[in-house]
Amino acid sequence: MSTELDAIPSIIPTRRDDAIGALEKMVSKGLGWARKYSLFQYPFVTACCGMEYMTLASARYDLDRFGAALPRFSPRQADLLMVVGTVNCKQAPILRRVWESISEPKWVMAFGVCASSGGFYDNYATVQGIDRIIPVDVYVPGCPPRPEQVLDGIMMLQAKIQGQHHQLTQGKPLPVLGQAPRQR
Amino acid sequence: MAKVVIDALVERFRDAVQGDGVTGAYTGAGGDDAAFVRRERLVEVCQFLRDDPGLQFNMAPYITAVDYLGQEPRFEVVYNLLSTTRGWRIRLRVKVAEQDAVLPSVCAIWRGANWFERYCFDMYGITFTGHPDHRRLYMYDEFVGHPLRKDYPLRGRQPLVTELEVPEEQFRGPGPARRSE
């Protein structure tokens, strides 16, 4: 059933798109703001980079200033997967499964050079960078990285989260106000 | 230092201790004395070294293998032994052929030898008969071959999950990129 607005071509839909776009922008901005300051990390710590991670999380470098204070040791409660250290072929299915267990939205940080590219472990046992298994948002190089580098990576990730766009309609036709959804 | 041990060993197991010259024993670069031991007499020699009241080699701190590719016999298993009461260290070396890479297990003598023998099996493919838990130690069960053998490809990865394909030119240094069958 059509309304009288549908009779006017190409103007009203544009305005409607504009309205939707403005609303999406507002929602995206708010969601991004909320999400970037409440990163719950899952530390997948496998190697010596874990020491740097502990320094980072404790008082001197204090990840809490960036809202990423609480490490969750269940992937169900986390939204930032920090892969800290070398991942070998035997561990790759575990990492993959942990990543699949994290609910959306989720982000991944490769902490240190081993997680980023395999590092100097170019041998029979080591995965040459976790981006061969799971998608990665931020790479932090260093062996191990300084805590400042990781803080820089966190800030880059926050910028990325702030800039992410959230579609409200996801391509489906909008319901017209005051009407039941159209039957097919 | 532990020359006494080697002398006692040679005297008692003259036929078991094989190798260069009459003694079959030598002093290594690190100062530790070593002896080549025949495979058939290994358990007997180890039992003697542990139980003899004058020796008391009650600990096997490290057992490993060496791959001499191109030589015959190809492998050599090295037993590093320590006497905590005397402070002595000696080394036993057993040569193993590639076709018949089987050794008797010494787990019954030193319980700590369990994981070392599993390591030797995992990395070099040497079988130990009588081992209570004969499995791989580091690699996964799906892994084919033994990675520390010199004829194993340098980058012979066998991933368990599907990995992203990477162009060959991204590999640095010598060695094949993938494991060739």
Return the CATH number at B27: 3.30.460.80
* DSSP labels, A102-149: SPSS-EEEEESHHHHH-TT--SSSB-S-GGGTS--SEEE-SSSPPHHH
More confident residue, A173 or A10: A173
When scoring B160, B165, B178 by the number of chain A Cβ atoms within 10 A, the one with the most, hence best to mutate, is B160
Q: Give me the mean pLDDT over the A112-122 stretch.
A: 88
B153 found inside a domain: no
B166 in contact with chain A, both atoms CB, cutoff 8 A: yes
A121 in contact with chain B, both atoms CB, cutoff 8 A: no
More confident residue, A35 or B11: A35
pLDDT tens digits, B52-72: 888 889 999 999 999 998 888
Q: Give me the mean pLDDT over the A153-171 stretch.
A: 84
pLDDT band at A181 (very low <50, low <70, confident <90, very high): low
Domain extent, residue B54, equals: 3-148
**Would the pLDDT of A2 be above 70?**
no
As for the ipTM of the complex, it is 0.77
Q: Give the contacts of A50 (CB within 8 A, at least 6 positions apart).
A: A43, A84, A85
Domains in chain B: how many in total?
Answer: 1
B120 found inside a domain: yes
Q: pLDDT at position B75, please?
A: 92
Distance from the B169 Cα atom to the nearest Cα atom in chain A, whole angstroms: 14
B180 found inside a domain: no
* DSSP code of residue B158: -
pLDDT band at A110 (very low <50, low <70, confident <90, very high): very high
B167 found inside a domain: no
pLDDT tens digits, B9-26: 777 777 666 554 334 556
**Would the pLDDT of A27 be above 60?**
yes
- Tell me if B113 sits within 8 A of B63, measured CB to CB: yes
| Pairwise CA distance, residues B58 & B54, whole Å | 12
B154 found inside a domain: no
The reply to whether residue A125 touches residue B157, judged by beta carbons under 8 angstroms, is yes
Q: pLDDT at position B22, please?
A: 35
Question: What are the structural domains of chain A?
Answer: 39-163 (3.40.50.12280)
Q: Which residues of chain B have pLDDT under 50?
A: 20-23, 179-181
pLDDT tens digits, A63-97: 888 888 888 889 999 999 999 999 999 999 999 99
Chain B segment 126-145 residues within 8 A of A by beta carbon are 138-140
- B contacts of A93 (beta carbons < 8 Å): 160-161
B176 found inside a domain: no
CA-CA-CA-CA torsion sign (A87, A88, A91, A97): positive
Q: Give the contacts of B50 (CB within 8 A, at least 6 positions apart).
A: B56, B57, B58, B109, B110
